[in-house]
Structure 1
Amino acid sequence: MLDEIARLDPVKIRTLFDTGGEYRRSRSGGDFAVDFHAGLRKARESGPVHAGTVEQALGLPHPAPVVGRAKPPAIFSVFDYDTVNAVFRDPETFSSEVMQSTFDTFGRNILGMGGTEHSRHRGVVQPSFNRNMMQWWADRWINDLTGSLLDRIEARGSAELNVEFCALLPLLTITGSFGVGMDDTLRLRELIEQMIGATVERDDRIAAAAEAGEILGPVIADRRAEPRDDLISKLLQGTIRDEDGTRRGLTDAEILAFARLILTAGSGTTWRQLGITLWALLNEPDQLDAVRRDRSLVRNAIEESLRWEVTDPTFYRTATRDTELGGVAVPAGSRVALCLTAANHDPKRWDDPERFDVRRPLRPHLSFAGGPHVCLGMHLARAEMSVALNAILDRLPNLRWAPGAERPVLMGLHWRGPSELPVVFG
C-alpha cells in the first residue's frame, strides 16, 4: 500500500486539500478566518430566529441575485438548539426540497428525497453504515490506511498533518470501499469539487458528474459479474421496494447516485473534522496529554470537537406551509437556514459552550443533523477519527506545533477547517 500511496501526486493533493483555496473556489465566504462565534452568540441572544441569512446576521454581505435567474425565496435563519432540533425532526413542515439541486450532478439521491421515497432508498445503503459495521470498515480499510499514512511520516519527526494524513485517510477509505484504483482517486476528488462548486457552471458540473460515472461504471459492471467484500457489491446485493410493492435490485444509475453522494461527503467532512480535532488538542497541550494518557477520552475529544466547531456550520430546509418559528412567521416556500454552530453553542444546553473541553459531560449535539436525514456516515466518521487519533497518539510522541511556523487558524464560513497542521514530534 505504501508504494500505491507514494504514486499520488503531492502537488495535486495539496491543491485539492488547500483549505483556503477550497473555500475561495467553491463557496461564498472566501477564506473567512475570523472568530465568528461572537457574532453567532449575539444573533442567538437577540432571538432564536431571524429574517435573512446567517451572513446577514453576522453583518456580512449576502451575494447579490444572479441576473436572469428566478428571485430567490425568503430566508430565515435559526440559531438555538431547541428550534434547530425541532426543524430537523419535522420533515413534513420543513422538507429537504432545497437539496434537490444535487439531482443534476449526483443523480436522484437521498439528500433531496422526502417521505417514503427517502426511507426506502436510504434503507438500502444504511445497513453498511450502521454502528455494528464499523469493525468491517476498520478491518478492510481504516486500520491499514492509517498505519500506512503514518509509516510515511513517523521517522521524519515532522509533518503537515492536514494534507499528509487528515485529507488522505477518509478519501482513500471511501474510494477503497468502492474498489477504485489509486490512480483514479485524486481525479475523483477533483471531479467532486467541480460537481459541488458554486462558481462552476451547470453544464461543467454535469460533465464532471458524467466523468465520475465513467470511472465508477466499470467497477459496478465488474461487481455485478463478480461480487467482492466491498461497498459497491453490498449495494448491488441490496434490494428496494418500489411504491407498488415490487422488490428489485438497484439500477446502475441509482448506485452511481449513492456513490457520488458518499464520495462527496466521505472525502470532505471527516478530513476537516479530524483536522479541527487535532487543531483544538494542539492548542490545549494539557488536554492533548490527558487524552494520550487516558484513551477513554478519545471519544470525548471527538464529540467535543464536533460540538465545538462543526465542519458544515449551516444546513437548509424549505417550509412546506405557512408556519412559525421562534415567534417569527415563516411563509410557505421560504428557505430555513439552520446554524448548527450556533445551536451547538447554546448556553441553555452547555455551560461555557465556547470552551473546548474533553472532560465535558457528553450530550447529543446537532453536528450530524437530526431526524430522518441524520448523517448516513456519522458512525464511519467517528470510527475513522477514533482509529486515527489513537494511532497518532501511539506513534507520534510529544506531538506539538512546529516551532517557528505561523500558527494555523480555522477557516471558512460555510465549510470550516484548519488552514494547515504543521507539527513536530519525537
Structure 2
Amino acid sequence: MLLEEISRLDPDKIRTLFDTGGEYRRAISGGDYVEDFHTDLRRARESGPVHEGCVEEVLGLPRPEYAQRWTEPAFSAFDYATVNAVFRDDETFNSQILRGTFATFGPNILGMDGAEHARHRAVVQPSFGRAAMRWWTDRWIAGITDTLLRRVEGRGRAELNLDLCALLPLLTITGSFGVRMAESLRLREVIERMIGADVPREDKLAASAEAADMLLPLIAHRRENPRDDLISRLVRERVRDEDGTLRAVTDEEVLAFARLILTAGSGTTWRQLGITLWALLNNPDQLGAVRRDRSLVRAAIEESLRWEVTDPTFFRMATRDALLGGVRIPAGSRVALCLTAANHDPSRWDAPDAFDVFRPLRPHLSFAGGPHVCLGMHLARAEMTVALNAILDRLPDLRWDPDEPRPVLMGLQMRGPARLPVVFG
C-alpha cells in the first residue's frame, strides 16, 4: 500500500520542490559558492573572530537579498569559541529577530526566549527527545526508507537526492501528522511559499492560511479521535502560562508547531543526508570502511554535520552593548553566527577541512547550542542513521554514475548537492 502511494507522487513536482541548484536557492544563498568556500571562511576566521557586516559581505559578496531590508548594524562571528559563547548567552544575544516568523507560522519557539521559550518548548520536547526515536523509527522512518529503496534497488542506478534524501524526511513528518500521502507534496509546496525569500508578504500570508486550512481540520479530528501520531500527542499536552496556570494547548499553538516542524524537518535533513552521501561517495575508502564497520555510521553522520552543515549561518540579536571577539557590538545589532567556519576551527579540530570518519568525535555546532539547540536533532540523526544503514545493506558497490556529471556542493545559506546520480550492484 505504501509503495503504491509513493509511486503515485508527481516526479516533476518532487524535482521542482527539491531543487538545490535552482535559481531561488542561488538568489538567497550568495550565489552557487561551489569553489573556495572553506578557503574564504578560513581567511575570514584567521583575520579575526568577529567582523562587521553579514557573512556574505565579509566574504566579498554583495549584501544578499534577505539582508537588504535590515536597518540594524550587522556583525559576523567565525570561530568556535565565539559562536558557542553567543549561543549560550541568550540574555545578551537572543532570538527576537525571529519573531517575524510569528506572522506566518504563528507564535513559535524560534522567536521566543527565556521562560516563554522554555514553557512552550516543553510541550513538544518529549516527542523529539532521544527516548522517542524508537517510536519515530518503528512507525515511520524504517518503513518509508524500505519502501523508497525498494523502488530503486532493482534498477542498478538511482538519483538518491530525489529518490531517497528528499522524500524520507518529508514523508516522515507528514506521516506523523496523519496527512494523506497525496497531500504531502502540496503541503511542502505551501510551506515553500511561506518561507520563500522572494515571495511577497501577502502571498506568504495566503500560503500560511492555506496550510491552516489543511492542518486545522486534522488537529480538530485528533482531539476527538486520537491516534498514535504526533498531532495526537501534541493536543494532549499542557502548557504552563506565565502566571503558573496549566492549560490545554490550543489548536493555533499546535498549528504553529506543525508549520515549524514541517519547515525544518523536511528541509534540512534532506540536504544533510545528501551531503553525507556526497562526502562518502567522494571518499570511497571511507565508504568501504563504513560499510564494513557499522559503528562508523554514527561517525560518518557527525563528521558530515561538522564538515559541511547544510544551514551554515544562524542569527541572533544583541540585547545590550557587548564586546565580542574584541569588537564592540551595539545593542540592537544582528549577529550572524557562521557554523561552518566555527566547525572548521583548527584550535578544536586537526586538519578541519578534511572529511574524516575516523576523526575522534567532539561536539560541533551544526545544531546550534544553548537553550535553542535544534529541537529535531535526534530525529535528523535517526533518519540519516536508518537511511545510511539501509543503503549500505541494499545497494552494494555504491559509486558515482560514470555517465552523469559529478555533482558539487553549492550554496552559502542552503548548502547541498543538487543531484546524487549513483550506480550499484
TM-score band (shorter)?
A: over 0.9
Secondary structure of 1:343's aligned partner: helix
Q: CA deviation at 1:34?
A: 2.4
User: 1: distance between equivalents of 2:23 and 2:391?
Assistant: 26
Q: What's the CA shift string for 1:94-128, capped at 9, x where partnerless?
A: 01011111111100100000111100000000000
Residue 26 of structure 1 and its aligned partner are, at CA, apart by 6.6
- CA distance in 2: counterparts of 1:218 and 1:21, whole angstroms: 34
Report how far residue 53 of structure 1 moved: 1.1
What residue in structure 2 maps to residue 178 of structure 1? 177
1:195 aligns with 2:190: no
CA distance in structure 2 between the partners assigned to 1:30 and 1:296 by the alignment: 37
Alignment of 1:286-301 (within 5 A): 286-301=285-300
- Percent identity, please: 73
Provide the C-alpha distance between the structure 2 equivalents of 1:32 and 1:203, rounded to a whole number of angstroms.
Answer: 31
Aligned to 2:120: 121
How far apart are the structure 1 equivalents of 2:270 and 2:284? Answer: 22
Measured after TM superposition, the shift of residue 183 of structure 1 is: 1.1
Contact 2:104-2:208 within 8 A present in 1 as well: yes
Query: Within the alignment, does 1:240 sit opposite 2:216 as a pair?
Result: no
Aligned equivalents of 2:368, 2:45: Cα separation in 1: 19
SS in structure 1 of the partner of residue 111 of structure 2: coil
Structure 1 letter corresponding to 2:175: G
State the match for 1:44 in structure 2: 45
CA distance in 2, matches of 1:28, 1:396: 33
Distance 1:255 1:65 in 2: 28
- Which residue does the alignment assign to 1:352? 351
Report what 2:257 is aligned to. Answer: 258
Conserved 8 A contact 2:28-2:66: no
Kept in 2, the 8 Å contact 1:237–1:249? The answer is yes
Residues 102-113 of structure 1: pairs in structure 2 closer than 5 A: 102-113=101-112
Gaps of 5+ in 1: none
Give the corresponding residue for 2:364. 365
- Kept in 2, the 8 Å contact 1:39–1:57? The answer is no
Q: Per-residue CA shift, 1:207-261, capped at 9, x if unaligned?
A: 1011011111111011010111000000011101111111111111100000000
Query: Per-residue deviation at 1:56?
Result: 1.2
Alpha-carbon distance between aligned partners in 2 of 1:9 and 1:64, rounded to the nearest angstrom:
31
Q: Could you tell me whether the CA contact under 8 Å between 2:309 and 2:366 is conserved in 1?
A: yes
CA RMSD of aligned residues (A): 1.3
Opposite residue 354 of structure 2, the aligned amino acid is R
> What residue in structure 2 maps to residue 317 of structure 1?
316
Residues 374-416 of structure 1: per-residue CA shift (max 9 Å, x gap): 0000000000000000000000000000012110000111010
Aligned length: 424
Give the corresponding residue for 2:15. 14
Hey, what does 2:64 align to over in structure 1? Answer: 63
Give 1:148 deviation, angstroms. 0.2
- Superimposed CA distance per residue, residues 258-313 of structure 1 (whole angstroms, 9 cap, x where no aligned partner): 00000000000000000000000000000000000000000000000000000000
Residue 159 of structure 1: SS of its match in structure 2? Answer: strand
Counterpart of 1:284 in structure 2 is: 283
Q: How far, CA to CA, are the matches of 1:220 and 1:271 in structure 2? A: 26
Superposed displacement of residue 63, structure 1: 3.5
The aligned counterpart of 1:273 is 272
Q: Using the alignment, how far apart are the partners of 2:188 and 2:67 within structure 1? A: 28
Measure, in 2, the Cα distance between the counterparts of 1:25 and 1:63: 10
**Alpha-carbon separation, structure 2, partners of 1:211 and 1:217:** 10
8 Å CA contact 2:26, 2:411 repeated in 1: no
For 1:245 and 1:29, locate their aligned partners in 2 and report how far apart those are by CA, in whole Å: 45
What amino acid sits opposite 2:72 in the alignment?
P
Give 2:150's aligned residue: 151
8 Å Cα contact 2:56-2:64 kept in structure 1? no
Matches of 1:411 and 1:64, distance apart in 2: 18
CA distance in structure 1 between the partners assigned to 2:37 and 2:285 by the alignment? 25
SS of residue in 2 equivalent to 1:245: coil
Within 2, Cα distance between the matches of 1:25 and 1:218?
36
Match in the other structure for 1:86: 85
Which residue identity lines up with residue 407 of structure 1 in the other structure? R
Task: Give the distance between the partners of 1:177 and 1:361, measured in 2 at CA.
Answer: 35
Taking structure 1 as the reference length, the TM-score comes to 0.98
Q: Are the aligned partners of 1:20 and 1:30 in contact in 2 as well (CA < 8 Å)? A: no
> Secondary structure, in 3 states, of the residue corresponding to 2:21?
helix
Asked if structure 1 preserves the Cα contact closer than 8 Å seen for 2:160 and 2:419, the reply is: yes
Instruction: Check conservation: 2:29, 2:411, Cα contact below 8 A.
Output: no
Is this contact kept in 2: 1:400–1:423, CA < 8 A? yes
- Are 2:354 and 1:341 equivalent residues in the alignment? no
Q: Which runs of 5 or more residues in structure 2 are unaligned?
A: none
Amino acid of the structure 1 residue aligned with 2:360:
P
Please give the alpha-carbon distance, in whole angstroms, between the structure 2 residues aligned to 1:66 and 1:366: 23
Question: Displacement of 1:340 after TM fit?
Answer: 0.1
In the alignment, which residue of structure 2 is the partner of 1:399? 398
Determine the C-alpha separation between the residues in 2 that align with 1:198 and 1:167. Answer: 21
Partner of 1:130: 129
Q: More displaced, 356-365 or 403-412? A: 403-412
Aligned partners of 1:410 and 1:274: how far apart in 2?
Answer: 13
Deviations 1:21-43 (A, max 9, x none): 16437724243322311000000
Residue 386 of structure 1 is matched in structure 2 by 385
